[in-house]
Amino acid sequence: MEIYLDLVFLENFLMDFILLLMVGKMIHKTICPPRLLAAAFLGGISAAVLCLLHPQFVLLQVCNLIAGLCMLLLSYPLKRLEYLPALLFLYGSAFVLEGMLRFLGRFIGSRGQHRLYFLLGTGLFGWLFFHSLWKQIQRQKQKEELLLPVTILWEGKQIDCTGLLDTGNALREPTTGKPVMIVEQTLFTEHEISLPNDRCFLIPFRSIGRSNGMLRGILAEECWIGQAEQKKRYRKVMLGIYHGKLSHKAEYQVILHPAFWE
């Protein structure tokens, strides 16, 4: 009986990719296509090697079990207690999918079954690629919609910057109840503006990595937020001066309270 190792590899590669994708959906894990491809490649190689060596039944099952664990390890960051359910899902799905393909193979023949593997795998790859691309485009679009141009007027000087509209931001100055616009201090130093030490407010806040902290609050004469027809003017805006960078990629220098865009 002739065995074509390239077909063995291709069929197992496509099967493993489909199965790992199904397992990820079942256990609610984030799908990472490169990791799935690497794991499916490992599965295809191991199947071809085992087919070539043709080990005894017990050794074959042990090798398949090890290969399955390695594929899961490559595909998803699983906790220790998640490996057994994931492995059961993997082999259960493999049993069902293999049964379906064998059933269809009775009607379409071996060559048709190879084509079915190919079409199924190609269609899945295409769907996954365009689905990931669409999600990336939507995330980028949503992010751009939350970034707004901001102009701060202070003692006759104009500071132009970019603000991030943070819908979960509920920070207000406790004595006045004014919503706080968090601003990087570097914006003032770059424009050679000295911030006053008097007429300041203390604003308690919480951030990631810190249980609590204090921001120095000052009142800006005037601020403009938005662009073109949607541009809005605000007077006596409470600014919270932040010592550091609000964005690692310098995409924005201001965090806007949702009250500034209602």
Q: What is the tens place of the pLDDT at every residue in 97-140?
A: 666 666 655 655 555 555 556 666 656 665 666 667 667 766 66
3-state secondary structure of 166: coil
Whether 183 has a pLDDT exceeding 60, the answer reads yes
Mean pLDDT of 5-26: 81
Least confident stretch, 101-115, 165-179, 209-223 = 101-115
Mean pLDDT of 159-185: 90
| Percent composition of the chain: helix, strand, coil (DSSP 3-state, to 5) | 55, 25, 25
User: What pLDDT, on a 0 to 100 scale, did the predictor assign at position 25?
Assistant: 79
Domains of the chain: 5-143 (no CATH), 155-261 (2.40.70)
Mean pLDDT of 28-46: 86
Whether 247 has a pLDDT exceeding 90, the answer reads no
Count each helix (H run) and each strand (E run) in the chain, helices first.
Answer: 5, 7
The whole-chain average pLDDT of the chain stands at: 81
Percent over 90 (pLDDT), the chain: 21
Q: Which residue has the higher pLDDT, 46 or 25?
A: 46
User: What pLDDT, on a 0 to 100 scale, did the predictor assign at position 119?
Assistant: 60
Predicted confidence (pLDDT) per residue in 64-103, tens digit: 889 888 998 888 888 878 878 888 888 887 777 666 666 6
Whether 204 has a pLDDT exceeding 50, the answer reads yes
User: What pLDDT, on a 0 to 100 scale, did the predictor assign at position 208?
Assistant: 47
Q: Do 205 and 171 contact (CB within 8 A), yes or no?
A: yes
Cα angle 132, 134, 138; round to 5: 115
User: What pLDDT, on a 0 to 100 scale, did the predictor assign at position 60?
Assistant: 84
